[in-house]
Amino acid sequence: MTRTNGSLALAFHGLFIAFILAPLVVVILVAFTPESYLSIPTTKWSLRWFEAIWSSDFIPAFWISVQVATASATVALLLSVPAAIATARFQFAGRQVLSAYFLSPLMVPHVVLGVALLRFMAEMGLTSNMGALIMGHVIIVLPFTLRLALAALTGMNRHCEWAAWSLGASQWTVFRRVTLPMIVPGLAGGWLLAFIQSFDELTMTVFVASPGTTTLPVRMFQYITDNIDPMVASISTALIVLALVLMAVMERVYGLERLLAGKGEG
Amino acid sequence: MATSRLLPYGLSLPAVAALTVFMAAPLVMVLMLSFNSFTMATGIQPGFNFKNYVEVLGDNYFHTIFGRTFVLALWVTGISILIGAPEAYVIHRMRPPWRSIFLLVILGPLLVSVIVRTLGWAVLLGRGGMVNVALVKLGILERPMEFMYSFTGMTVALVHVLVPFMVLSVWTSLRRLDPAVEAAGVSLGASQATVLWRIVLPQAMPGILSGSLIVFTLAASAFATPAIVGGRRLKVASMAAYDEFLNSQNWPLGAAIVVVLLVAMVAIVMGYNRIVEGRFKQVFQ
């Protein structure tokens, strides 16, 4: 039997791909309209809506998102490397329970985490506190950095570690000089995935965002619920281009389907 | 090597502390909050009563919202299986360069914010949007229909957001399918349909089952897509919680809504796992 698809299968495939791409293509087209309402440009194309972004309050929101995503991905990575070493390299009582606990944020819907963070911040007097928002994001991205750190640790060749031990290196030296350099690529992938996850997070953040901590997705959400105009389309286009660049990098280095298994938020 | 027995606990401590302070403790706070009461005049009153749960579980208004959330999640899951599983099989049968190209096309949107993807549907589904123009031109509709703020629109947009997970999940389990088994089926005289039904489908089943669970839970707790496409007219559970917290300021009631949502989801996931493991044990080995 040949492993090719029949024409019916290919027709279905064409429709499916069209379904996947249609909304993104439409957003990109609308972004180039010269009109001030949503329309797909036919004769005249314009960049006026891209220019309009610069003087809008989407720019400060973008920088807040970058800060939150950078900080939370970094903190999550710093927390998950020792945790991953503990669960991957040691046998101890409660190991299973701890692993489950580390991955438990995946089980809690973001809306629930958002409500919980809001209540926590209100009780602690941390309303509109950037650090608390970042820690909220750390909780969301921790399972991803942890999983990639674990994959890197269990996937590496342990003979190098054993060789270093047998030659008298201390545990700390083995980690610093042998293990760490070998797992850096996996850690970088986890960091990148965590960054994207945090950068796009809306459902939790929308509960706690205040004027000083309004991230880009939250600002876009507030804007869209008021009115939909070509400016959000042009910002969305910029985000799509950004995602394309990241996608190219991640596919080159890791293979996207491996990284994305399990990511998600509706 | 001389390892202190406490080392693994020490290494885990920072992550455990972060999860406990910023997730577990806040969740307990929400649970406690849901037993407080609230009036417009006095705000949140400390205390312990089940008034909010009586309201959430007894009021028709909330029955409608939770019912809608559940039905929406079921539809989205069903449609995702119907279109995602065949697509995964088509991709599985593609030749190498095409396979990774189309996997990228399908998985790539997961890197784009949900807001952006939903915005595309808001443009497409509006009264003057392209879906309407096309349906009228094809003679399927007589005049433009409002898909925005409709259950159909919400379902379509949410399927678009979540179907990549189904494709990924089914494709992953099909990867283990040995093409020689299919070939053996054909050489022994099985029709194409028999091969699909008796060989491919059982192999794809673990992927379909775990994909369904992912899609269902994400659909049931989705916020952005239902909020933008469905609006206030077609509230889902997460939107109702959002309104209680940020508009009505009735935090105890909002807390009760999310506790009910969380408990319902945990119950569904555990029940599903139990049924699936019982019936498909041989598939999951």
Identify the residue whose tokens are 């007589």. B142
Q: Which of A32, A94, A15, A62 is nearest to A231 (CA)?
A: A32
Q: Is residue B133 very low, low, confident or very high in pLDDT (cuts 50, 70, 90)?
A: confident
Q: What's the rounded Cα separation, in Å, for the pair B253 and B40?
A: 12
Q: What is the spatial distance between Cα A128 and Cα A12, in angstroms, rounded to a whole number?
A: 49
Confidence of residue A260 (pLDDT cuts 50, 70, 90): low
Task: Report the Cα B44 to chain-centroid distance in Å.
Answer: 32
The answer to whether B262 contacts A251, with C-beta atoms less than 8 Å apart, is no
> Is residue A71 scored above 90 in pLDDT?
yes
A206 in contact with chain B, both atoms CB, cutoff 8 A: yes
DSSP assignment letter at B113: -
Q: How confident is the model at residue B163 (pLDDT cuts 50, 70, 90)?
A: very high
Closest CA to B50 of B280, B279, B252: B252
CB contact under 8 A, B238 and A111: yes
Three-point CA angle B246, B252, B255, nearest 5°: 75
**B1 — pLDDT class (breaks 50, 70, 90):** very low
Residue A259 pLDDT exceeds 80: no
- What count of Cα atoms within 13 Å lies in the side-chain half-sphere of residue B223? 28
CB contact under 8 A, B108 and A256: yes
Highest-confidence segment of A74-83, A171-180, B40-49, B205-214: A74-83
> What's the full length of chain A, in residues?
266
CA-angle at B217, arms to B213 and B223, nearest 5°: 150
Q: What is the mean pLDDT of residues B34-50?
A: 84
What phi and psi, each to the nearest 5 degrees, are found at residue A126?
A: -110, 20
Compute the distance between CA of residue A52 and CA of residue A213 in angstroms, rounded to an integer.
22
A200-226: average pLDDT: 92
CB contact under 8 A, A256 and B93: no
**pLDDT, tens digit, 9 for 90 and up, residues A103-125:** 999 889 999 999 999 999 999 99
Residue B44 three-state SS: strand
Lowest-confidence range among A28-42, A71-85, B21-35? A28-42
Count other C-beta atoms under 10 Å from residue A121's C-beta.
Answer: 21
Cα–Cα distance, B273 to B269 (Å, whole number)? 6
| A87: DSSP letter | H
Count chain A–chain B contacts defined by CB atoms under 8 A: 285
A165 contact residues in B (CB cutoff 8 A) = 1
Closest approach of chain B CAs to the CA of A74, in angstroms? Answer: 13
Quick one: pLDDT band at residue A13, thresholds 50, 70, 90?
very high
Residue whose pair of structure tokens reads 């916020």 in the numeric block: B223
CB B246 within 8 A of CB B232: no
Distance to chain B for A251, nearest Cα, Å? 8
Contacts B94 to A, Cβ<8 Å: 5
CB proximity list for B281: less than 8 A, separation 6 or greater: none
- Reported as a single tens digit per residue, the pLDDT across B177-195 is 777 888 888 888 888 888 8
Structure confidence by residue, pLDDT tens digits, B80-96: 999 999 999 999 888 87
CB–CB contact B106 A228 (8 Å) = no
Residue B273: pLDDT band by 50, 70, 90 thresholds? confident
pLDDT value of position A258 = 66
Sign of the dihedral defined by the CA atoms of residues A57, A59, A61, A63, in that order: negative
